[in-house]
């Protein structure tokens, strides 16, 4: 593999990445998607370390931050080749896309120096501390408080659905710093060490039986003030930039989707499908191809159009899991991959902003439809 920071064309880079993956993919954990499950975290960290050593971490990050200094198109080529090889392109999206991206964009030079290289090297693992019991889709209602006290903020409150909270070293946190401001204006964005006194992390069990996310309670946690990211009370802008990147990342898995559709088509081989099942399968395959074309047109840059891909792909994955269960028949109700697929599929329609919320964004921001009425006023 070429470690150099010399310019390299996308095709040449893709070819060298493919060669490297062929030689190394046996050492990778299975492709777990955006978030590393707790039982694979050791393997995920080792994989990230190997990627860094091979010059395949932070492909489009500036060289000053330990990256390769290439373009978003090189990064997209890497993600496609990883999807074809069935390996994760990064340890986790929260660290390598959300935390890394927001620190590069909004961080001070000191924050960039402190966090970016360890994140690329896989020695700093991140979680996302946004959702609360009373604030999910309506994130602006969050009530976790951060009160300034000299050179610290005192944090009190509760977060929920924090994927990988237990194994993370740091978290990206949104908390209310001005309770008197209108709701989106009194929020700030912080970088939070997860080992500070006063942090209590409790696993939450999902419908699949696994416990991939946690509740996180903060009681008088003393956070150094230099971990404020971006402007005080200006955290909403930072958070929205982060969420757009998250949707872009979720929607970017076109090749992964294509592989799923291929395996779907293979599942039909040798089965006597009824006309409705045949129609559903054909519909899924053509939707898959339409989203692939849209993804290629949209390119690797996250934007509000990322909502189209996020909505389309997660809804299709849900439908694919249901059809798979239908084709397998009663056996799909037994413990095993088919049942697991059906139980896990609804989560994709919720994580990173629900399907209904994506439809609102598409309606209002892409189609220019009137804004939905707000019960609490404008
Ligand atoms: C697998 C998974 C991983 C997650 N990981 C994390 C994480 O690491 N960190 C984190 O902070 N959060 C995480 N989340 C939480 C996720 O961001 C929230 O679940 C999501 O934003 C929805 O919020 P909620 O669950 O409070 O549902 P609500 O917002 O209470 O929504 C309930 C229902 O109402 C609908 N609804 C709400 N508002 C509207 C509206 N305006 N118009 C139409 N319908 C509406 C929703 O679509 C939904 O069907 C994760 C979730 C999942 C499923």
1: confidence class by pLDDT, cuts 50, 70, 90: low
Percentage of the chain beyond pLDDT 90 is: 63
Measured by CA distance, the residue closest to atom 40 of ligand 1 is 357
Residue 354, ligand 1, Cβ within 6 A: yes
Whether 103 lines ligand 1, by a CB cut-off of 6 Å, is no
**For residue range 77-106, what is the model confidence (pLDDT) as tens digits?**
898 899 889 899 999 999 999 999 999 999
Q: Cα(354) to centroid of ligand 1, in Å?
A: 6
Backbone dihedral angles phi then psi of residue 371, each to the nearest 5 degrees: -70, 150
Class of domain 253-366: mainly alpha
Mean pLDDT for the stretch of residues 193-215: 95
What is the CATH number that goes with domain 127-236? 2.40.110.10
Closest C-alpha among 247, 339, 321 to residue 284: 321
pLDDT recorded at residue 298? 67
Nearest residue (CA) to ligand 1, atom 29: 137
70, 87, 104, 196 alpha-carbon torsion, rounded to 10° = -160
DSSP sequence for 316-362: HHHHHHHHHHHHHGGGGGSTTHHHHHHHHHHHHHHTTS-HHHHHHHI
Q: How much distance in Å is there from the Cα of 250 to the middle of ligand 1? A: 15
43 pLDDT band (50/70/90 cuts)?
very high
Q: How far is the CA of 161 from the centre of ligand 1 (A)?
A: 9
* Residues ≥6 apart with Cβ < 8 Å to 75: 59, 60, 300
Residue intervals of the chain classified under CATH 2.40.110.10 are 127-236
Q: What is the average pLDDT value for the chain, to the nearest integer?
A: 90
Give the pLDDT mean for 99-117: 96
Q: Are 85 and 25 in contact (CB under 8 A)?
A: yes
Q: Check pocket membership of 350 for ligand 1, CB cut-off 6 A.
A: yes
**Is there an atom of ligand 1 within 6 Å of 128 CB?**
yes
Alpha-carbon distances, residue 362 vs 49, 75, 307, 346, 377 (angstroms): 38, 26, 7, 20, 21
Q: Does pLDDT of 300 surpass 60?
A: no
Q: Ligand 1 centre and the CA of 314: distance in Å? A: 14
Residue 182, pLDDT > 70, answer: yes
Q: Which one is catalytic: 80, 212, 246, 258? A: 246
The atom of ligand 1 lying closest to the CA of 346 is 53
80 catalytically annotated: no
Per-residue confidence band for 254, with pLDDT thresholds at 50, 70 and 90:
low
**Coil, strand or helix: which one is 187?**
strand
**CB of 130 closer than 6 A to ligand 1?**
yes
DSSP state of 135: B
Looking at ligand 1, which residue's alpha carbon is closest to its atom 27?
Answer: 136
What value does the CA radius of gyration of the chain take, rounded to a whole number of Å? 21
Q: What number is the average pLDDT over the span 262-286?
A: 86
pLDDT tens, 232-243? 999 999 998 887
CB count within 10 Å of CB 377 equals: 6
Classify residue 232 by burial, with Cβ atoms within 10 Å: 0-12, 13-18, 19+.
middle
> In the predicted model, what is the mean pLDDT of residues 111-140?
96
Between 252 and 99, the more confident residue is: 99
pLDDT score of 84: 87
Q: Where in the chain is the domain with CATH 1.20.140.10?
A: 253-366
Q: Report which protein residue has its CA nearest ligand 1's atom 26.
A: 136
| pTM of the predicted protein model | 0.91
CA atoms within 13 A on the CB side of 310: 31
Query: Which protein residue has the closest C-alpha to ligand 1 atom 41?
Result: 357
Instruction: Pick 264 or 76 by higher pLDDT.
Output: 76
Find tokens 């971006």 and name the residue.
230
Res 369 pLDDT > 60:
yes
Query: Lowest-confidence range among 1-10, 261-270, 307-316?
Result: 1-10
Ligand 1 pocket, residue 357 CB under 6 Å: yes
Write down the pLDDT at residue 2.
47
The CA-atom distances, in angstroms, between 157 and each of 66, 132, 174, 271 are: 35, 9, 11, 53
The reply to whether ligand 1 has any atom less than 6 angstroms from the CB of 344 is: no
Contact at 8 Å (CB) between 223 and 153? yes
């Amino acid at each position: 593999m070429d470690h150099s920071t010399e310019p390299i064309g996308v095709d040449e880079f893709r070819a060298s990445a493919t060669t490297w993956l062929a030689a190394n993919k046996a050492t990778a954990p299975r492709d777990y998607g955006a978030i590393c499950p707790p039982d694979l975290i050791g393997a995920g960290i080792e994989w990230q370390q190997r990627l860094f050593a091979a010059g395949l971490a932070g492909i489009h990050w500036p060289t000053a931050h330990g990256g390769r200094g290439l373009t978003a198109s090189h990064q997209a080529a890497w993600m496609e080749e990883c999807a074809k090889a069935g390996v994760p392109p990064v340890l986790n999206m929260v660290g390598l896309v959300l935390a890394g991206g927001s620190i590069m964009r909004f961080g001070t030079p000191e924050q960039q120096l402190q966090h970016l290289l360890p994140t690329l090297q896989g020695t700093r693992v991140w979680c996302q501390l946004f959702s609360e019991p009373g604030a999910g889709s309506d994130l602006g209602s969050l009530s976790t408080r951060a009160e300034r006290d000299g050179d610290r903020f005192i944090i009190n409150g509760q977060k929920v659905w924090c994927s990988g909270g237990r194994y993370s070293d740091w978290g990206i946190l949104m908390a209310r710093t001005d309770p008197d401001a209108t709701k989106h204006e009194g929020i700030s964005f912080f970088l939070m060490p997860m080992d500070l006194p006063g942090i209590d992390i409790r696993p939450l069990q999902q419908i699949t039986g696994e416990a991939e996310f946690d509740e996180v309670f903060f009681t008088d946690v003393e956070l150094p003030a230099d971990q404020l990211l971006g402007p005080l009370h200006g955290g909403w802008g930072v958070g929205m930039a982060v969420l757009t990147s998250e949707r872009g990342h979720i929607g970017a898995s076109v090749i992964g989707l294509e592989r799923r559709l291929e395996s779907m088509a293979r599942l039909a081989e040798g089965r006597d499908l009824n006309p409705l099942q045949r129609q559903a399968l054909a519909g899924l395959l053509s939707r898959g191809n339409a989203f692939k074309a849209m993804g290629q047109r949209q390119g690797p840059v996250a934007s509000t159009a990322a909502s189209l891909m996020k909505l389309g792909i997660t809804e299709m994955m849900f439908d694919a899991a249901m059809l798979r269960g239908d084709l397998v028949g009663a056996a799909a109700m037994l413990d095993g991959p088919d049942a697991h697929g059906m139980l896990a599929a609804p989560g994709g329609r919720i994580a990173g902003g629900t399907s209904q919320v994506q439809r609102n964004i598409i309606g209002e921001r892409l189609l220019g439809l009137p804004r939905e009425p707000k019960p609490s006023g404008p």
